Amino acid sequence: MTTQSAQLEAATFIIVGGGIAGVTCAETLSFLCPTESIVLLTETSLIKAVTNLVPLAKHILKFEVEEKEAFNSVKDQINVIVDQLKFINSEEKYIITNSNRKISYKLLCLCTGARPKLIENQNKYVIGIRDTDSILDFQKRIKSSRRLVLVGNGGIASEIAYEVKNIEIHWVIKDSHISSTFVDPGAAHFFEMSRLQASETRKSSIVKRMRYSEADNICSEKGQQGAALGPDWHQKIDVNGTQLDIKEPVKIHQQSEVLSIKETPSLEYPILVTLTNGKVISADFVVSATGVEPRRNFESDANFKLGEEGGITVNDMMETSIPYIYAAGDVCHAGWNLADHWFQMRLWTQARQMGGMAGRSMAAKMCGDEVYQDFCFELFTHVTSLFGYQIVLLGKYNAQGLGTNYEILLRMTPGKEYIKFVLQNGILQGAILIGDTGLEETCENLILNQIDLTPFGDDILNPDIDIEDYFD
């Protein structure tokens, strides 16, 4: 790596990435170390900022994410550089950027996010959805297509299935129910009922979170790369097709995967998608919403310890295996001894929590102080919305790691709420709360304090009994 022509600049802290993790880390550092120099290195001048934090309980936060022009929205102390990290010299503690800037650091934090893991990488008919470019591509294809194959069963696939209209969607899921990343078969049934009931008069869900300003800039900045779009991307960008009167807009192919995608230039549709269950679908293109892989698009003089999914392993202080280098958000792998009710999922919530933790930890290192891991890593919490409902996921909400030794208590009012408690030996281990249940704080306390609920039996979810009165 040649560095001869580069002038050496210097900063106390360098944070790489303008997503939630990077911005939260930089803001935390600027609050804790107001006199130190901070560089935020980001590929685009649009950064992500958390706004409208609403606590639903002590540790359950609902927030919006806004996209902002970096230069106007961060404190003067944070020097925003729009450029790409190319190389890290961890021995001499400096980085080189794509435009050959050389900047030394005392502490460096990598928040470079993740990219979609596509079912076929080199196939022009297969696209993923992650950032501005991919949305533009998706929008263009939707307008000139009649049928798409949607692969995947997480939040993004669920949003596409629900929000994209006027095009025939064949939704291929390997599980036996929809939206399996977040919900169980019962909740999936609850959604399907709501979806079918609403299909005639379906309106867009009410969005209380972000509205992207990026769409306004979208055309003029073609070719840019940026942070993950996140939820509600479909609210500002028209992602509807042009086909009217489709009899079955979303056809779900359960327990199947894509076996092959073949080009068929002479036929009506350009591709034939064969599924593992033998079905063959002719289609215009495939959306692969099949998860992400950490984005390590830079070189370094030393090898980072990695998790099995390719994330940079960090300890409870967000330190990587290389001294003075930290990582946070989608790019990292949580390599500490996890608490009983927390696990890693590549989500906004965790990008924010990890970015904040990295900032606190880096600030403490600079001052020679000691910090403890934030309490948020004790309990998995995630607030999102699917199919127009608020969803709160807590702890082992899908009985993760409980084997077969657990009980489930359910309460469902179609079109209104779905409440699932996961109990082991009478103690609440996780919960799914869909709709406006008001049970967030109670559930948080029950899981964290591991209160024995056996005396209440099934009454714990009896609609005539207000369980909040017992435990708040």
Residues that bind ligand FAD (CB under 6 A): 16-22, 41-44, 48, 84-85, 111-114, 129-130, 155-156, 225-231, 233, 295, 297-298, 329-330, 346-349, 351, 384
Closest CA to 408 of 422, 428, 426, 397: 422
Chain CA centroid to CA 469, Å = 34
Q: Check the CA dihedral 24-28-31-34 and report its sign.
A: negative
Nearer to ligand FAD, 273 or 332 (CB): 332
Q: Phi and psi (nearest 5°) for 289?
A: -110, 60
Which is closer to ligand FAD, CB of 351 or CB of 394?
351
- 10 Å CB burial of residue 13 (0-12, 13-18, 19+) is buried
Amino acid at 124: K
User: Which of 168, 165, 161 minimizes the C-alpha distance to 146?
Assistant: 168
Which whole-number Å values give the CA distances from 205 to 198, 209, 232, 239, 312, in the listed order? 11, 11, 10, 15, 36
For the CB of residue 19, give the shortest distance to ligand FAD in the complex, in Å.
2
Of 224, 289, 311, whose CA–CA distance to 47 is shortest? 224
Smallest separation (angstroms) from ligand FAD to the CB of 218: 15
Least distance CB 299 / ligand FAD (angstroms): 10
CA distance 86 to 288: 28
The least CB distance from residue 379 to ligand FAD, in Å, is 16
Nearer to ligand FAD, 17 or 435 (CB): 17
From the CB of 48, what's the least distance to ligand FAD, in Å?
6
In the complex with ligand FAD, the residue whose CB is nearer, 134 or 442, is 134
DSSP string, 155-175: HHHHHHHHH--SSEEEEE-SS
Query: With contact defined as beta carbons under 8 Å apart, do 460 and 452 qualify?
Result: no
Q: Could you give the CA distance from residue 408 to residue 275 in angstroms, rounded to a whole number?
A: 33
Instruction: Please state, in angstroms and rounded to a whole number, the distance separating the CA atoms of residues 80 and 22.
Output: 11
Nearest approach, Cβ of residue 392 and ligand FAD (Å)? 12
- Token pair listed for 343: 């696990």
Minimum distance of ligand FAD from residue 21's CB (angstroms):
3
The amino acid present at 212, given as its one-letter code, is Y
Q: Which residue number, 113 or 241, has a Cβ lying nearer to ligand FAD?
A: 113
> Residue 435 Cβ, how far from ligand FAD at the closest point, in Å?
17
Closer to ligand FAD by Cβ: residue 136 or 272: 136
Give 319's strand partners.
326
> Of 79 and 84, which has the nearer Cβ to ligand FAD?
84
72: three-class secondary structure by DSSP? helix
End-to-end CA distance of the chain: 60
Q: How far is the CB of 410 from ligand FAD (least distance, A)?
A: 24
Smallest distance from ligand FAD to CB 86, Å: 7
Q: What is the DSSP string of 199-229?
A: STT--PPP--S---SHHHHTTTTTT---S--
Q: Which CB, 184 or 330, lies closer to ligand FAD? A: 330
* Of 12 and 84, CB closest to ligand FAD: 84
Nearer CB in complex with ligand FAD: 173/358? 358
Place of tokens 């599924």: 275
